[in-house]
Amino acid sequence: MRTFVTVAEQGTVSKASLRLRIAQPALSRQIKDLEEELGLRLFDRVRRRLVLTGEGEQLLGDCRAVFGAVGSLSERAQRLRRADTGVLKVATTPQTMEGVFSVFLHRYAERRPNVQVKLIEAVGPSLLDKLERGDVHLSICLLQTIQTDDHPFDSFPLPPMEFFAASHTSLKLGTEGSIDIAKLAPYPLLLLDSSSVIRGTFNAACRLAGLKPNIFVESRSPQALLALAEAGHGVAIVPSVLPTHRYRLRVARIMHRRRPLREPWAALWDKRRALPPHARDFCEFLAAHIREVSPLLQPNKSKRGDSTKRATVRRA
């Protein structure tokens, strides 16, 4: 087809052979083979020039359209190899969608306007199932979700998910924004139901601390627990990913042996499949966003400073 288009544009076999750097006999043979394959006469010879027939005129337009499409496809492939273009499918929990991605997607779109992020809701083992089936590129989940050492996943670590105790503002819960898990014994607790990975971690920490929790309510909805805590029905134990600022609550980080109660969290992918070039950038920006919007995850600052500065921080 390229030979046909060049001959049509140049008007002679000799000029076309120079343009294409193909010997004239070979070029003439290609034109003859194309005419035989299509069952059409493409050229008339008029005074040593090749003039397109009516059928050749129509075919010339079609060939140019084909070459235009091929060029467009090549350009699109080049754009897809860049880190700032393409589609990224991400599986995550409803809580992470609400607490992280509701804000993060806008910020990431400003950074990478040509990357389309598609969120797929999943919980527990289904986060890994979607990776193995190739339904998504990344899954954002707790590392505890992986049950075996023999797995095909690689990971990018995110700031660890911490455990918060949220209560009515009138309740003096802990000191300096934290409370030891053993100090939760007197309070009625509002907990996620036993199927939650978060609940399993909290139960294990209670056993280590010798705490028998006073369970008032169990629920699959962390928002229900926060609403009950806001109304003064107890202390909600929730992961740091939740947007607790939407409620009027006193929030404290849960500690065990002077260390925050944490659960490792990561972006996972199937290392047997090629990862889009923009996925790494996405993970890095997501980790930075989580650190920024979760001030309780930051290291404790020095306590030195005058009382005016401390009062300003407390008011903020």
Check residue 196 and give its pLDDT. 84
Check residue 84 and give its pLDDT. 67
What is the amino acid identity at position 43?
Answer: F
Q: What are phi and psi of 79, to 5 degrees?
A: -65, -35
Check residue 210 and give its pLDDT. 93
Check residue 305 and give its pLDDT. 41
pTM for this model (two decimals): 0.65
The Cα–Cα gap between 215 and 231 comes to 17
Check residue 113 and give its pLDDT. 92
Q: Is 275 exposed, middle or buried (0-12, 13-18, 19+ CB in 10 A)?
A: middle
Check residue 227 and give its pLDDT. 95
Check residue 58 and give its pLDDT. 85
Check residue 173 and give its pLDDT. 85
pLDDT tens digits for range 195-226: 888 888 899 999 999 999 999 999 999 999 99
Give every residue of the chain whose pLDDT is below 50, as ranges.
296-316
With CA atoms as reference, report the closest residue to 237 among 206, 283, 207: 206
* Pairing outcome for strands 188-192 and 235-239: parallel
